[in-house]
Structures are given as structure tokens and as C-alpha cells.
Amino acid sequence: MQALPVTSKSNTTQAAAAPANSPPDAYLVVHRGTRWTDVIRLSGDVRWTIGRSSSNPIVLRSAQSSRHHAEIRPAITPDGPVWAIADLKSRNGVSVNSRRIQAPTVLTEADQIEIAGFELTFTRNPATLARPPVRNSPNIGGPASGGSGSADDGATQDNLAKDWRNGDSGYDGENGESEVDVVSQITTSGLARRLNRETNPVSDNDPATMDAADPLLAMAFALGRAESIEECGETLMQTLDELLPGATIGLYLFDAEQRSALVQGGGLSPPRLVRQPKGTRYRRPPTPLIEPILQPNSAAILARNVLGDRRLATENTAGEIDVESIILAPLRPVARESAANRSGGESNREKSLAANHQPITESNLPVGLVHVTTPAGSPALTPNQLRNVVAAGEIFCQAIRSIHREASLTRSLKKSEAVINRLRRQLAGRIQILGNSEPIRLVQQQIAQVAPTPSVVLVRGESGVGKELVASAIHHASPRKDGPLVCLNCAALSKDLLESELFGHEEGAFTGATQQKRGKFEVASGGTLMLDEIGEMSLDLQAKLLRVLEGHPFERVGGQSPIRTDVRVVAATHRDLRAMVEQNKFREDLFYRLNVVEILVPPLRERGRDVILLANHFLQSFAESMARGRLKFSTLAEKKLQRHRWPGNVRELRNVIERAVVMSPMDAAGDGEATELDANDLIITAVSNASKENVAKAGRSGGSPDELELSLAELEMRHIRRVLESTGGNKSRASTILGIERSTLDRKLKRAEKDGL
């Protein structure tokens, strides 16, 4: 910071004729919060006074500011012409880079000026214009330090237009400004004259005074209905056109290709949409201005007094910069502040610095830009208009974010649907009613016949024979296969709960009904509803079910509105419903309604060699899922499977095989050889009546229950093997224990091998 033995070049507030040795043009950036900045170009031989009075070219409306607080003016030093700042004997002083100045001081690049709580940056580098302010001290009093008087507060900007309208250019005129409001006003002498010329007398069409609420509100409503980015873009342009009459507007939206080009340092592609007054041509912003605006965290810029500044505007065909003012606003959805950020931690200064030094990446690029220019000779754009552009841009960003989100949700929904359909097809492929026996072939044939029809089907059979599998096979072979298959076990629920499960309930229908719930009839709409254990349904509910099956609508429990659904019902039971009808335990009318087509699933004991087929199917699938390599049954094991009566049917068989695979050796995998599961590995612990009988019989005879299934030869072989095991394979000792000749033992072993025992 250099104090000057200054020779002031001018001591009036009016523009003087620019001498040949004026300092180079510079910018004074007045930071207005983090989202927008005012840029004033310091050029020519002009003295820029700053203070509370609206007669200053730069007005800082704050109680802390003196009427004429400071001035920036050209000065001559031995090194040449410079811009210098002087304190005009203000009450609260002027600081440059946090040090209060005592004498006129030369301004150098990036100097931070603090006046009455406002922060201003002096720069010659347009690349820094869009940079949000870096606060040296979060506790500086006054408006720039945040709080209710924050310069980011839009209300502060509203007064700017009013100030311009007042057009008060006298030093001493009292304009009735509030002493507490925070308002900054920036005009240049030339600019002020032009503004006065153009905007006085105050007219209703004055863009600066225009009430932006209506167009912004209309835009918010229109964007809420918009279905495409293009539609949103058109709406934004229409709104900006209303808010910025006479301005030329370009809207840039960055698609994936543009984003990657921008990250690699490429220029802007042509704007997506342009609005311009007749007879004018749109010109893209110059590169020095684009770069800073693409920076992460960049603020929107309003630059005035741009005439002739090549760094801020693009020349016309005659090579002139005929632009009066510009707005360049990045389009960014408002970032939601995280709780951690709100609670502090990192200081504002650290965060701003970090943000300012992030590299540009595709993810931190703005989604687009709004570029507005006004031509020379027309009123400059106002901070109020800048604020409206930023507001419109934010509403636009929220709208396109919603459209993107909706599109991405639709995409993931489609993906999920594709996955569901693939899984359904896989499932349908796996739903096979395995078996070659006569009775199971009949079932397969009945499924094929009934599936394409809309008829109700009654599936009957003992527990665990595969009734649910049959219902599933019917659904997957039917035209409803892409709809839901919903199964409900009527035996598992109390009467009331079953009713609410079937038909749903309204909120408050009964204690615990805290919210409305759709019933299975509604959930299964378009698909199939399997009602398992239908024989366990109460007679009341049977009557309600009958009505629905006859095509009548139903109501949710506690509800009034009739509901109709399109559901195919497949009922299943292990009971003899006809007998139940005779005992008045099942409604006859419902029985006939359900019994349109009956499929009787045979028990496993009537399926002959299907037992082995199913057992092998389960063995392979469990071996695969448990990574046990290749497994197979020994002959003895197969015989054991075939002989068992399987009171628990397929479910029991499945469980026996699963257990055998679980207990099979882990090292079975890998050597290529199939590991054999022996009869001993198949532990059958049936608990049906038949099995209980067997257990009792076995207990009386002293043998194990499954030995009752063995032939004498098998039993003998099993004993021989056990003895051999106990002698460690010593045949001589084993034959002594067994009380037979060693040669007899050899003969028996050979025979057993031949017979596959």
C-alpha cells in the first residue's frame, strides 16, 4: 500500500477532459453478497466519489458511511499515472487491505477496499470480476458482513432504481434516504447523465422501476407446467424479454458435449436462444469474460460504462464496442447448504478461497449462462435488473433440475421394469412341474389347458405336493403373466385380519388401522390372486368372496366407495371341500363357483420314479447353490428314496436332500469326480402319522426307523460295513466279530458291489 504525495488531477465531481496520461482503465467491483456483483469501469480523468449522499457516483447507503466518504481519482506518481483512493475526512475511515489509510493511497491490483462495511475490489483483470468476495473478517460491522442488512438481501437492490429516478446530483441535497437501509448506487458522471436523460421524467415503462414480481411469478407457474428443457428456455427468454425491454439476450445451455469442450478450454457454442431488438445483432461475450463466469462459485456480473471496453464486450462489424452495459449470469441451481456448513467449521474466507481455486470440472460448471447487453445510448442495466435476471435464472434452474430428475427417474423405472420382466421370464422358465409319471402328466396337461382362459381354478392336493407351484405355473402360462401374482394363505390370519388383507381398509377402520391399505384384490389387479387354504375361510368371508367372484364391486373395511378389480382367482386346499359342504362348513355356492376347473395334484407316493427325478433335481440345485461340486446318489440311497412313503410330499423330499447336501463334505468340489451320497446320508425324520407309527414299530424292534425300509441284504451289508469301520478295515478281525469265514466276508462284499448295495 503506497501513500501518495498526490497531485490531484481534478477536484470536481464532473468528468474532465481525459488527458493523454490518464491511468489505465480499471474496475471497481462492489460485491453484493455471493451471487451478484456490480462492476464499475474506472476510465478517463474522472473523480469517483463514494459516500452516503446520492450525489456521489458511487453511493453506499449505510449509517456508517459519511455523506462524502472517499474518492478514487487519477493521480500522477513518478512511476506514471495511477488510480488512488483518499479518505474525505470520513467518520469511520477507509481501509485498504484491512489497514486504515491516513493519506491518499495508490490502488494496486486486487486491493480490497472497506468502506462503511462494504467491500470493494480494485482490479484491472476482468477474470476476477465474477469472483465472490473474500471476506477478511467475518465480523466487520455493517451491511457487507451479512445479517439482516446483508448486501445479498434483494430488498437493498430495490432502492437503486428509486435512487436513479431521483436523479439527485447535488452534493448537499437531502433525498430522504433511510439511514439504516443498505443501498449502494453506482453511477458514472457520463452514465448518470445518460440515465437522467433516458429515465426522467419517471415513466411507468421505466425498466428499472418495473415490478418484476408478475413476470417472475408467471414464469414460475409456466415452468411448473413445462415438460422439456426447450420449453423452459423459451419461458425464461420470454420473461427476460419482459424484464429487460430493449436489451439483447442470449441464453446458453450446456449439454454434455459443450461441457466437456468447456472443461478442455473450448469457447462457447452459439447460444441456444436469442432475443434482440429489431436491427441489432447478437454478439457472444468476449473470452476474458466467459472464463471467470465459468469458475465454480462465480457471481453474476453487471458491468456498466462498458463503452469501448474490449475485455467486457465484443466489437460490432465496424470494430467498435457499442455496448452500454452488460449482465452475464451463470445459471446454477441454488446449492443446499449442508448442516455442517451452516454450523460453521471452516471460515467463510477459507471456503471462498477454496472455491475460487477449484479447477473447472464438468460437475461444477454452471448449466448455462444468460448474457444481456444494452446498446450505447440506451439506459444502462440496473442492479435491480441484475437481481431479477439472477432470480429468473434460479427459478429456471430448479425447473430444469426437476425435468432432469423426472427423466432420470423415468429412465431408472424403465430399467427396473426391464429387470423385473427379465426376472419374471427367468422365474417362469424355472417354474416347472417336474415329473414323467402318469398323474403328473395329467396335471401338466390341465395347466396348459386352463392357463390361457380366465376361469377360476381350484387346486387340490395334500400338503406339500406343489399346489402353489401349480398356481404359479398357471399364472406364468396365462396372458396375465406380466401382471402380479399375489398369494394369500387364508389359514394364517384371523377372520378380521383376513378380510382386511383381502379387501383392504380405510384409515381408522379399526384400532391400529393408522393408514389406508389396499387389499390383495386391489394389489393383484391385472394379475392372479392365489388363495391358499381356502377351506379355512370363515363362512361370512366366503359370502363376500363369492360376491366378488361373481363380478360385484367390494369396499375396503371401513370404506364406502365401491372398488372393482380385474383379478383371476386360483384357490387351493388340502381339504375335501365337497365333504365340508356336506358338513355345512363350506358354502355350496362358493364351492361350485371355485370348482369350475379342478386340478388334483397327486401325492409323491403315487408318482413312481418321479421321486428320483425330483430328488436329483434338488440334489443338483442345492449342490450348485452350496458349491459342493458334483454329487450323486448311491444305488442304495436311490432305493431308500424310492421306498419311503413321503407323507410330507415334495417339501419333505426337498428338505431331506437339502440336509444331505449341507452335510456333504466341503472338499467334494473340484476334483471332477462326483461324490456319492449314501443311504445313510439321507436322514428322514418324517413326523406324519405314518412315520410316527414307524418310529413306534422301530422302537419295539430295537432298530432305527429308516432301517425298516431296508431289505435284508441291505441291512446285512450295512452291518458288515459298520464292523469293518470299527476294525479299521481289518477283514480278519471283522469276520471273527461277524462269526463268518474270511472267504465268506470277501464273497459278500463282492456280491454287494455287484448289486450296487
Ligand X SMILES: Nc1ncnc2c1ncn2[C@@H]1O[C@H](COP(=O)(O)OP(=O)(O)OP(=O)(O)O)[C@@H](O)[C@H]1O
Q: Which residues bind ligand X (CB under 6 A)?
A: 433-435, 461, 463-469, 532, 574, 614, 650-651, 654
Cis peptide before 201 (omega within 30 of 0): yes
Is 395 or 661 the residue whose CB approaches ligand X more closely? Answer: 661
Is 312 or 614 the residue whose CB approaches ligand X more closely? Answer: 614
Is 314 or 655 the residue whose CB approaches ligand X more closely? Answer: 655
At 98 the three-state DSSP class reads: coil
209, burial (CB in 10 Å: exposed 0-12, middle 13-18, buried 19+): middle
Of 708, 726, 716, 715, nearest in space to 747 by CA: 716
The residues pairing with 633 across neighbouring beta strands, listed in sequence order, are 677
Q: How far is the CB of 598 from ligand X (least distance, A)?
A: 15
Q: How far is the CB of 447 from ligand X (least distance, A)?
A: 11
SS (HEC) of 719-757: HHHHHHHHCCCCHHHHHHHHCCCHHHHHHHHHHHHHHCC
Is 416 or 642 the residue whose CB approaches ligand X more closely? Answer: 642
Which DSSP letter does residue 379 get? P
Q: How far is the CB of 399 from ligand X (least distance, A)?
A: 51
H or E stretch covering 28: strand 26-32
Q: How far is the CB of 689 from ligand X (least distance, A)?
A: 16
Amino acid identity of residue 140, one-letter, is I
Q: How far is the CB of 439 from ligand X (least distance, A)?
A: 11
Q: CA angle, 492 as apex, 486 and 496 as ends, to 5°?
A: 90
Q: How far is the CB of 588 from ligand X (least distance, A)?
A: 24
At 82 the three-state DSSP class reads: strand
Is 126 or 648 the residue whose CB approaches ligand X more closely? Answer: 648
Q: How far is the CB of 585 from ligand X (least distance, A)?
A: 18
Residue whose C-beta lies closest to ligand X: 466
Is 82 or 447 the residue whose CB approaches ligand X more closely? Answer: 447
Task: Give CA torsion, residues 730, 731, 736, 742, to 10 deg.
Answer: -160
Is 432 or 449 the residue whose CB approaches ligand X more closely? Answer: 432
Q: How far is the CB of 419 from ligand X (least distance, A)?
A: 23
At 410 the three-state DSSP class reads: helix
- Whether 83 and 74 have beta carbons less than 8 Å apart is answered as yes
Q: How far is the CB of 437 from ligand X (least distance, A)?
A: 10
The residues pairing with 82 across neighbouring beta strands, listed in sequence order, are 75
- Whether 145 and 345 have beta carbons less than 8 Å apart is answered as no
Is 308 or 608 the residue whose CB approaches ligand X more closely? Answer: 608
Helix 438-450 vs helix 467-476: crossing angle, to nearest 10: 40
Contacts of 382 (CB under 8 A, 6+ apart): 160, 161, 164, 207, 208, 302
H or E stretch covering 3: strand 2-3
Is 520 or 654 the residue whose CB approaches ligand X more closely? Answer: 654
Which DSSP letter does residue 286 get? P
Name the grid cell of 266. 473450448
Tell me the longest C-alpha to C-alpha distance in the chain.
Answer: 136
Buried (b) or exposed (e) across 306-334, using 16+ Cβ within 10 A? bbbbebbbbeeeeeebbbbbbbbbbbbbe
Is 465 or 594 the residue whose CB approaches ligand X more closely? Answer: 465
Is 410 or 625 the residue whose CB approaches ligand X more closely? Answer: 625
Is 327 or 614 the residue whose CB approaches ligand X more closely? Answer: 614
Q: How far is the CB of 435 from ligand X (least distance, A)?
A: 5
Q: How far is the CB of 220 from ligand X (least distance, A)?
A: 56
- Whether 253 and 229 have beta carbons less than 8 Å apart is answered as yes
Q: How far is the CB of 255 from ligand X (least distance, A)?
A: 51
Q: How far is the CB of 546 from ligand X (least distance, A)?
A: 22
Is 74 or 648 the residue whose CB approaches ligand X more closely? Answer: 648
Task: Return the sign of the alpha-carbon dihedral for residues 306, 307, 311, 315.
Answer: positive
At 392 the three-state DSSP class reads: helix
Between CA 489 and CA 498 the distance in angstroms is 9
